[in-house]
């Protein structure tokens, strides 16, 4: 069989040139930062994270920032100062890259989590907050951390308890600074190792009331974990760092879900996304957890939840997916109760009441779902009186 002759050298060179141009066009279209380190450098440059020990106050982004050229994946080059057409979108893309390429090890997960928590807390752009919270979702999933565990959340404490906790943290931090500043860092005696491990446990004993301090604790523990070589100390630092990330991530989700309690930004689209984050992470038990978390002071006989109808509509859809018999009884409002309260609430929007009434019928497994529903809530009120109020007597 005849073999086709090889094309002349100039044609081979043209072919390779086309390949290079295609790759360069793809890199320019999808964003210059392609590696974890490049995305981290570009994120820190545009957000002002020039000092690792001091996070910026409010998230505001300049129109010019350091960026890596598109060919930085092949050549060792430094970033250059260039115009940023859409600064919030630029930051958002870097958040996505950092979350996707942080891997499963704490060496990368910890610094990325700290930045994600900062965006979720300080960025006024709802899209950026949503992407950051989705990154936090990935962190909890990768580290196998439970967002429904009540011990992950900070609670109100008495002044005496707050003072005791502050003193404990102050003593632990002073001891930690002394251990970090010792001259002979390579050799630790048994007493120093025991003290080191005890201090690390105390620092991450429970969540801090301040989200900013929780982020700073992640930085401190990450520094210990990356600088120490003593196996016992590294193991204690890993455990403490996991707990600090757990606390920070869970309380960031809660702050976004109930901003009126945490003094966070009040953005309905962000709250709606957090609903689905909890649902994806926690499964069916997440639904009553969400209702307990979002419950507001009662008005008359009915519970009150989120003020935005779009968020309440998402809650109705979640609750309607659960069969009444499959719902676990626990403290706080149940999904079936939320559907009933929404369906019979005279102050609720008519469209939402109709959806809640149909959801109530589906949750009860009623035959009403096979025929057109009259949307007369008399049957729902009768069911409530006989099966709920009658049962509780």
Interval 61-104: pLDDT, tens: 999 998 998 877 777 788 888 999 999 999 999 999 999 998 88
Among residues 356, 269, 271, the alpha carbon closest in space to that of 317 is found at 356
pTM score of the predicted model = 0.82
Q: How confident is the model at residue 6 (pLDDT cuts 50, 70, 90)?
A: low
> What is the arithmetic mean of pLDDT over 320-333?
72
Alpha carbon separation from 175 to 170, 210, 213, 220, 337 (Å, rounded): 9, 21, 18, 13, 51
The C-alpha atoms of residue 20 and residue 71 are separated, in whole angstroms, by: 10
pLDDT at 370: 44
CB-CB contact of 195 with 175 (8 Å): yes
- The count of C-alpha atoms lying within 13 angstroms of the C-alpha of 89, restricted to the half-sphere facing its C-beta, is 5
- Grouping H, G, I as helix, E, B as strand and the rest as coil, residue 65 is strand
Which position has the higher pLDDT, 254 or 383?
254
Asked whether the predicted pLDDT for residue 135 surpasses 70, the reply is yes
Task: Identify the pLDDT of residue 109.
Answer: 95
Query: Does the structure show a pLDDT above 50 at 22?
Result: no
Average pLDDT, the chain: 81
- pLDDT for res 58: 74
259: how many CB neighbours lie within 10 A of its CB? Answer: 15
113 CB-contact burial (10 Å; exposed 0-12 / middle 13-18 / buried 19+)? buried
**Alpha-carbon distance 380 to 345, whole Å?**
12
In whole angstroms, what is the distance from residue 203 CA to residue 200 CA?
A: 5
Distance CA 377, CA 188 (A): 72
Of the candidates 336, 325, 274, the one whose C-alpha atom is nearest the C-alpha of residue 147 is 274
pLDDT given for residue 363 in this prediction? 81
Residue 390, pLDDT above cutoff 90? no
Q: What is the pLDDT of residue 313?
A: 93
Helices (H), 181-230: 190-203, 211-227
* Count of residues making up the chain: 393
More confidently predicted of 233 and 109: 109
What is the rounded CA–CA span in Å between residue 168 and residue 164?
Answer: 6
| Domain layout of the chain by residue ranges | 150-245, 287-392
For the cut 90, the answer to whether the pLDDT of residue 142 exceeds it is yes
Mean pLDDT within 165-187: 70
Report the pLDDT value the prediction gives residue 99, as an integer from 0 to 100: 94
In this structure, what token pair is assigned to residue 54? 């001091």
Least confident of 38-42, 252-256, 299-303: 299-303
Q: What is the DSSP letter of 368?
A: G
For the chain, state the CA radius of gyration: 27
State residue 12's pLDDT score: 46
Which band of pLDDT confidence, cut at 50, 70 and 90, is reported for residue 30?
very low
């Amino acid at each position: 069989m005849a073999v086709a002759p090889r094309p002349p050298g100039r044609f081979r060179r043209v072919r390779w040139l086309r390949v290079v141009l295609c790759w360069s066009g793809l890199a320019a279209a999808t964003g210059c930062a392609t590696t974890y380190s490049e995305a981290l450098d570009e994120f820190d440059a545009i957000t002002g994270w020039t000092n690792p020990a001091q996070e910026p106050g409010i998230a505001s982004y300049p129109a010019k920032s350091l960026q890596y050229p598109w060919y930085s994946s092949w050549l060792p080059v430094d970033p250059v100062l260039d115009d940023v057409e859409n600064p919030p979108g630029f930051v958002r893309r870097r958040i996505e890259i950092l979350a996707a390429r942080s891997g499963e090890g704490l060496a990368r997960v910890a610094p990325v989590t700290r930045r994600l928590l900062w965006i979720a807390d300080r960025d006024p752009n709802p899209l950026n907050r949503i992407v950051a919270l989705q990154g936090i979702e990935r962190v909890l999933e990768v580290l196998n951390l439970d967002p429904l565990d009540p011990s992950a959340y900070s609670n109100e404490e008495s002044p005496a308890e707050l003072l005791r906790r502050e003193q404990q943290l102050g003593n632990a931090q002073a001891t930690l600074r002394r251990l970090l500043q010792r001259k002979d860092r390579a050799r630790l005696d048994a007493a120093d190792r025991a003290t080191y491990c005890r201090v690390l446990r105390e620092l991450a004993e429970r969540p801090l009331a301040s989200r900013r301090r929780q982020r700073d604790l992640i930085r401190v523990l990450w520094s210990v974990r990356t600088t120490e070589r003593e196996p016992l100390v590294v193991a204690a630092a890993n455990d403490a760092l996991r707990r600090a990330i757990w606390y920070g991530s869970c309380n960031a989700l809660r702050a976004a879900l109930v901003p009126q309690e945490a003094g966070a930004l009040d953005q309905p689209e962000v709250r709606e996304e957090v609903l689905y984050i909890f649902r994806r992470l926690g499964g069916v038990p997440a639904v009553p957890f969400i209702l307990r978390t979002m419950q507001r002071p009662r008005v008359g006989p009915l519970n009150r939840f989120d003020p935005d109808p779009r968020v309440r509509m998402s809650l109705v859809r979640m609750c309607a997916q659960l069969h009444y018999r499959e719902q676990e009884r626990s403290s706080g409002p149940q999904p079936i109760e939320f559907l009933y309260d929404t369906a019979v609430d005279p102050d609720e929007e008519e469209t939402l009441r109709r959806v809640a009434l149909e959801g109530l019928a589906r949750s009860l497994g009623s035959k009403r779902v096979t025929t057109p529903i009259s949307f007369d809530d008399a049957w729902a009120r009768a069911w409530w009186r006989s099966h709920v109020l009658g049962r509780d007597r």
